[in-house]
Amino acid sequence: MNILHNNAAGKSNNLDAFFADFEDYDLNQWKEIMDTNLTSMFLVAKEVGKVMKKQRKGGSIIQTSSIYGILAPDQRIYEGSFYLGRKINTPAIYSASKAGVIGLTKYLATYWAKDGIRVNAITPGGVESGQNDTFKQNYSNRVPLGRMAQPEEMVGALIYLASDASSYVTGQNIVVDGGLSAW
């Protein structure tokens, strides 16, 4: 079976621009993040899908979205929150680009279904990656399981979507968020 894990996300080399308030957000910064988070996934899926289609063996494309592609961030969790020593938020571009990943996934699932190519998304909730204790606690208070995810907790969903166990699954978004979206 042919498998692609199409995984892209970026902040910016300029964290001040990336974390800027919505009213002050720079259009070039918006375009840079959209290119990283969505356009790159379009380009990779296009080329890999072309090869999968030509080989006529089907395949599984798994694209990574984000909890903020399906839910708006709770702005309250950012009070006193820092990432790598800098005050943070989740900018609108991140949510918009990750919502676009889900839209692209659904489109490609129907487009390539006739070719036996399954396209699904995995949507992680908050994953620990350098946030300060205040952020981790604020975020964890919103999660029924009471904590943020560890990166390795995404692996099970990826293996499932890559395997024949999901042979009748396409166009879906598997949410791995500790229950955050249940509330």
Active site residue 136: no
**E-only strand ranges, the chain:** 3-6, 59-64, 82-83, 86-87, 117-124, 173-176
Q: In whole angstroms, give the CA distance from residue 71 to residue 82.
A: 21
Task: Please indicate whether residue 94 is annotated as part of the active site.
Answer: yes
**What CATH number did the domain enclosing 60 receive?**
3.40.50.720
Residue range 57-106, pLDDT digits in tens: 999 999 999 999 999 999 999 998 887 778 889 999 999 999 999 999 99
Q: At 182, which amino acid appears?
A: A
Put simply, whether the predicted model's pTM sits higher than 0.75 gets the answer yes
Residue 160's identity, in one-letter code, is Y
For 60, phi and psi rounded to 5 degrees?
-135, 120
pLDDT band at 1 (very low <50, low <70, confident <90, very high): low
Catalytic choice (68, 78, 94, 139): 94
Domain, as residue range, for 147: 3-182
Give me the number of domains the chain comprises. Answer: 1
* Among 11, 78, 98, 139, the one annotated catalytic: 98
Catalytic site includes residue 66: yes
Pick the catalytic residue from 65, 66, 97, 166.
66
Closest CA to 79 of 137, 146, 26, 25: 137
